[in-house]
Protein backbone atom coordinates (compact mmCIF):
# COMPACT_ATOMS: atom_id res chain seq x y z
CA UNK A 1 0.00 0.00 0.00
CA UNK A 2 2.75 2.46 -0.89
CA UNK A 3 0.48 4.45 -3.21
CA UNK A 4 -1.67 7.22 -1.77
CA UNK A 5 -5.27 6.15 -1.20
CA UNK A 6 -8.00 8.79 -1.67
CA UNK A 7 -11.04 9.41 0.58
CA UNK A 8 -10.93 5.98 2.14
CA UNK A 9 -12.67 6.86 5.41
CA UNK A 10 -16.05 8.55 5.47
CA UNK A 11 -17.96 9.09 8.73
CA UNK A 12 -19.29 5.52 8.90
CA UNK A 13 -15.84 4.01 8.51
CA UNK A 14 -14.34 6.43 11.07
CA UNK A 15 -17.04 5.40 13.58
CA UNK A 16 -16.17 1.74 12.92
CA UNK A 17 -12.43 2.36 13.41
CA UNK A 18 -12.40 4.65 16.47
CA UNK A 19 -14.17 4.18 19.81
CA UNK A 20 -14.75 7.95 20.12
CA UNK A 21 -18.24 9.43 19.78
CA UNK A 22 -19.69 12.93 19.84
CA UNK A 23 -18.58 15.26 21.31
CA UNK A 24 -15.09 13.66 21.44
CA UNK A 25 -14.93 12.40 17.84
CA UNK A 26 -12.76 15.04 16.15
CA UNK A 27 -12.11 13.53 12.70
CA UNK A 28 -14.80 14.06 10.06
CA UNK A 29 -13.15 12.37 7.10
CA UNK A 30 -9.90 10.88 5.91
CA UNK A 31 -8.79 12.36 2.61
CA UNK A 32 -5.78 10.10 1.98
CA UNK A 33 -3.11 7.97 3.58
CA UNK A 34 0.05 6.10 2.73
CA UNK A 35 1.94 3.55 4.81
CA UNK A 36 3.65 6.42 6.64
CA UNK A 37 1.23 9.37 6.69
CA UNK A 38 -2.46 10.32 6.89
CA UNK A 39 -4.39 13.41 5.82
CA UNK A 40 -7.73 13.89 7.60
CA UNK A 41 -10.11 16.82 8.09
CA UNK A 42 -12.08 18.29 10.98
CA UNK A 43 -14.87 20.71 10.07
CA UNK A 44 -14.93 23.19 12.95
CA UNK A 45 -18.50 24.26 13.68
CA UNK A 46 -19.82 26.97 16.00
CA UNK A 47 -22.06 24.26 17.51
CA UNK A 48 -19.09 22.46 19.12
CA UNK A 49 -19.65 22.13 22.89
CA UNK A 50 -16.27 23.64 23.80
CA UNK A 51 -17.05 26.99 22.14
CA UNK A 52 -19.67 27.79 24.82
CA UNK A 53 -16.98 28.19 27.45
CA UNK A 54 -13.69 28.67 25.62
CA UNK A 55 -13.43 32.43 25.17
CA UNK A 56 -17.13 33.31 24.77
CA UNK A 57 -17.42 36.18 22.32
CA UNK A 58 -14.14 35.08 20.67
CA UNK A 59 -14.55 31.31 20.22
CA UNK A 60 -11.24 29.48 19.74
CA UNK A 61 -10.74 25.72 19.44
CA UNK A 62 -8.62 24.59 22.40
CA UNK A 63 -5.09 23.54 21.41
CA UNK A 64 -5.42 20.30 23.33
CA UNK A 65 -8.37 19.37 21.12
CA UNK A 66 -6.28 20.05 18.02
CA UNK A 67 -3.75 17.58 19.43
CA UNK A 68 -6.55 15.10 20.19
CA UNK A 69 -7.79 15.40 16.59
CA UNK A 70 -4.26 14.71 15.33
CA UNK A 71 -4.00 11.71 17.67
CA UNK A 72 -7.31 10.33 16.40
CA UNK A 73 -6.09 10.67 12.81
CA UNK A 74 -2.85 8.89 13.78
CA UNK A 75 -4.95 6.20 15.48
CA UNK A 76 -6.78 5.56 12.21
CA UNK A 77 -3.41 5.34 10.44
CA UNK A 78 -2.12 2.83 13.00
CA UNK A 79 -5.32 0.74 12.82
CA UNK A 80 -5.08 0.60 9.04
CA UNK A 81 -1.33 0.08 8.58
CA UNK A 82 -0.75 -2.24 11.55
CA UNK A 83 -3.82 -4.35 10.70
CA UNK A 84 -5.63 -3.70 13.99
CA UNK A 85 -9.19 -3.48 12.63
CA UNK A 86 -11.41 -6.03 14.38
CA UNK A 87 -8.58 -7.08 16.73
CA UNK A 88 -10.09 -5.52 19.86
CA UNK A 89 -6.96 -3.40 20.27
CA UNK A 90 -7.05 0.35 20.90
CA UNK A 91 -4.48 3.09 20.36
CA UNK A 92 -3.89 4.99 23.63
CA UNK A 93 -2.04 8.29 24.14
CA UNK A 94 1.15 7.90 26.18
CA UNK A 95 3.07 11.15 25.74
CA UNK A 96 2.89 14.56 24.10
CA UNK A 97 6.13 16.36 23.25
CA UNK A 98 7.13 19.60 21.58
CA UNK A 99 3.58 20.95 21.22
CA UNK A 100 3.50 24.35 19.55
CA UNK A 101 0.43 26.42 18.81
CA UNK A 102 0.88 28.86 15.94
CA UNK A 103 -2.52 30.27 15.03
CA UNK A 104 -6.09 30.19 16.43
CA UNK A 105 -8.77 27.91 15.00
CA UNK A 106 -12.25 29.42 14.95
CA UNK A 107 -15.71 28.27 13.83
CA UNK A 108 -16.12 27.84 10.11
CA UNK A 109 -12.59 26.58 9.48
CA UNK A 110 -11.69 23.29 7.84
CA UNK A 111 -8.82 21.99 9.92
CA UNK A 112 -6.39 19.86 7.93
CA UNK A 113 -4.87 17.12 10.07
CA UNK A 114 -1.66 15.49 8.93
CA UNK A 115 0.10 12.86 11.01
CA UNK A 116 2.71 10.23 10.34
CA UNK A 117 4.88 7.59 11.87
CA UNK A 118 8.22 8.54 13.39
CA UNK A 119 8.67 5.03 14.80
CA UNK A 120 6.51 1.95 14.21
CA UNK A 121 6.56 -0.97 16.65
CA UNK A 122 3.98 -3.60 17.52
CA UNK A 123 3.12 -2.11 20.94
CA UNK A 124 4.35 1.51 20.89
CA UNK A 125 4.38 4.00 18.02
CA UNK A 126 5.70 7.53 17.80
CA UNK A 127 4.03 10.09 15.54
CA UNK A 128 4.45 13.63 14.30
CA UNK A 129 1.38 15.79 13.76
CA UNK A 130 0.62 19.08 12.07
CA UNK A 131 -2.75 20.86 11.94
CA UNK A 132 -3.35 23.69 9.51
CA UNK A 133 -5.90 25.90 7.83
CA UNK A 134 -4.85 26.20 4.22
CA UNK A 135 -1.13 27.02 4.28
CA UNK A 136 -1.23 28.41 7.84
CA UNK A 137 0.00 25.95 10.50
CA UNK A 138 -2.09 26.07 13.68
CA UNK A 139 -0.44 23.31 15.73
CA UNK A 140 2.62 21.04 15.59
CA UNK A 141 3.30 18.16 17.97
CA UNK A 142 5.13 14.88 18.47
CA UNK A 143 3.37 12.17 20.46
CA UNK A 144 3.60 8.54 21.50
CA UNK A 145 0.80 5.97 21.60
CA UNK A 146 0.48 2.47 22.98
CA UNK A 147 -1.36 -0.39 21.26
CA UNK A 148 -3.23 -2.38 23.92
CA UNK A 149 -6.37 -4.37 24.61
CA UNK A 150 -9.55 -2.36 25.13
If you count them, how many residues does the chain have?
150
Per-residue pLDDT tens for 122-142?
899 999 999 999 999 999 999
Which of 32, 37, 15 lies closest to 24 in space, CA to CA?
A: 15
- CATH, range 5-149: 3.10.129.10
CB-based contact 89:150 (threshold 8 Å): yes
Per-residue pLDDT tens for 36-54?
999 999 999 988 888 777 7
Q: Is 20 among the residues known to form the active site?
A: no
Global pTM reads 0.92
Amino acid sequence: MSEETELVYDTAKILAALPHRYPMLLVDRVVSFTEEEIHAVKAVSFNEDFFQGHFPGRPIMPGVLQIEALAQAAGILAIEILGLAGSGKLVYFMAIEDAKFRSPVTPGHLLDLRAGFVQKRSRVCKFWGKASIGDKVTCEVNFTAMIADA
